[in-house]
Amino acid sequence: MPKIFLALFLQMLSLVGLAGLVMVAPQWIEPPYSAFWLVLVHSALVLSLTIVVRMNRWWWLIQVLLPWMWYWALMLKVDPWISLGVFILVVLVFANAFSNRVPLYLSNHVTRKALKKMVAEKFDLYRPVRFLDIGSGFGGNVFYMHQLPQVSESHGVETAPIPYLVSRVRQWFLKTFTGRLKLDANAALTKGSPEQDDLTQAYEENRVSSPKILARDLWKYPLIEYDFVYAFLSTEPMPRLWEKVVEEMPVGSWFVSNSFPVPGVEPTEIWQLSDRRETILYLYQIAPSHL
Ligand SMILES: C[S@@+](CC[C@H](N)C(=O)[O-])C[C@H]1O[C@@H](n2cnc3c(N)ncnc32)[C@H](O)[C@@H]1O
């Protein structure tokens, strides 16, 4: 059962428990009972049930906060249409948290710089790199990677409606206001040198003019065309994702997972980044032994 339904079921069960307590409580405590105390008991009940069914700790917080949010919404007489609007917005942004257990959180700039470093270090300088971000959020990585001259194609797939729409709007803005997206050569070679001119020309020949964000489910999207696939998902999909990766990605290509290693598979390299959240990137180069 998806965790969200279990969480809601426990909220309902706690309400039933609360009703039972209110029925027997007059034997010891004189009614009426204030809303504050009722919500407090409801939170305690739901927290106990959440712990008993062994939901992850972050659910504990959600479960305790939910009755208080209902309480404050009633106290402050929040228009139900506003609550419904906020709920719909949350669903449209975090759609995949409910279906795939992958919420939306974004890679930071330090991580993107590490992806750039990977292109420079792990791929032949003369070979164009095709990059894919599976579950691309607001498209930040896709647009960033597209700026690297060596990256000939930079794509993302995203199914949550609002992140997808935001990426498409960003894509439109970038195209309209900067013309062709910036060619910010990562000057490995001296600018203007004959070697760099050759290289720039080679990159230009292979280059596809714009980054692409596709409204496609990552599970149905083929990975065979990509040299570099990046994922920042959650622990949940990693075993199944690895099966897809080794089945579809060519030998020699790279799969990188931000924060979530593939269980039971030794990464080719582990990069510890020096950002505030101490991001770890797990790098896997697809080898015949993986097949
Ligand atoms: C943690 S975010 C990472 C966003 C972006 N890759 C980044 O690093 O900034 C994961 C994204 O994957 C998307 N996602 C989850 N399951 C997906 C699926 N089956 N198909 C496409 N996108 C998915 C979510 O909607 C979310 O935007």
Burial track 41-72 (b if 16+ CB lie within 10 A, e otherwise):
bbbebbbebbeeeebeeebeebbeebbeeebe
Task: Record the tokens describing residue 168, joined without a space.
Answer: 């498409």
CA dist., res. 91 & res. 70, Å (int): 18
130 versus 179: the higher-pLDDT residue is: 130
DSSP-derived secondary structure letter, 27 = G
pLDDT recorded at residue 288? 87
3-class secondary-structure state, position 178: helix
What residue segments make up the domains of the chain, in order of their start?
A: 3-78, 109-290
Q: What is the residue whose two structure tokens read 């069914």? A: 53
User: Which numbered atom of ligand 1 lies nearest the CA of 94?
Assistant: 25
CATH class of 109-290: alpha beta
Nearest alpha carbon, ligand 1 atom 4: 137
Asked which of 45-49, 94-98, 116-120, 123-127 is least confident by mean pLDDT, the reply is: 94-98
pLDDT above 60 (res 197): yes
Q: Which of 70-74, 76-80, 143-147, 266-270 has the highest mean pLDDT?
A: 266-270
**Dihedral, 118, 123, 125, 131 alpha carbons, nearest 10:** -70
On whether the CB atoms of residues 97 and 104 are closer than 8 A, the answer is yes
pLDDT above 90 (res 279): yes
Asked which of 128-137, 167-176, 198-207 is least confident by mean pLDDT, the reply is: 198-207
- The confidence band for 144, taking pLDDT boundaries of 50, 70 and 90, is very high
Taken as a whole, the chain contains a residue count of: 291
User: Which numbered atom of ligand 1 lies nearest the CA of 102?
Assistant: 15
pLDDT above 60 (res 67): yes
Asked which of 88-102, 161-175, 251-265 is least confident by mean pLDDT, the reply is: 88-102
pLDDT above 80 (res 187): no
Write the pLDDT tens digit of every residue in 5-35: 899 999 999 999 999 999 999 999 988 899 9
pLDDT recorded at residue 87? 82
279 Cβ below 6 A of ligand 1: no
Q: 90: CA distance to ligand 1 center in Å?
A: 15
Write the pLDDT tens digit of every residue in 241-257: 999 999 999 999 999 99
157 Cβ below 6 A of ligand 1: yes
258: Cβ–Cβ under 8 A, 6 or more apart, which residues? 107, 111, 230, 231, 232, 279, 280, 281, 282
219 Cβ below 6 A of ligand 1: yes
- The confidence band for 190, taking pLDDT boundaries of 50, 70 and 90, is very low
136 Cβ below 6 A of ligand 1: yes
Q: What is the mean pLDDT of residues 91-110?
A: 82
pLDDT recorded at residue 73? 86
Q: Which of 99, 104, 255 to mutate to test the pocket of ligand 1 (most atoms within 8 A of CB)?
A: 104
CA dist., res. 142 & res. 131, Å (int): 8
Q: What is the residue whose two structure tokens read 């939901």? A: 55
Q: DSSP letters of 214-274?
A: E---GGGS--TT-SEEEE---STTHHHHHHHHHHHSPTT-EEEEES-PPTT---SEEEE--
Residue type, 123: F
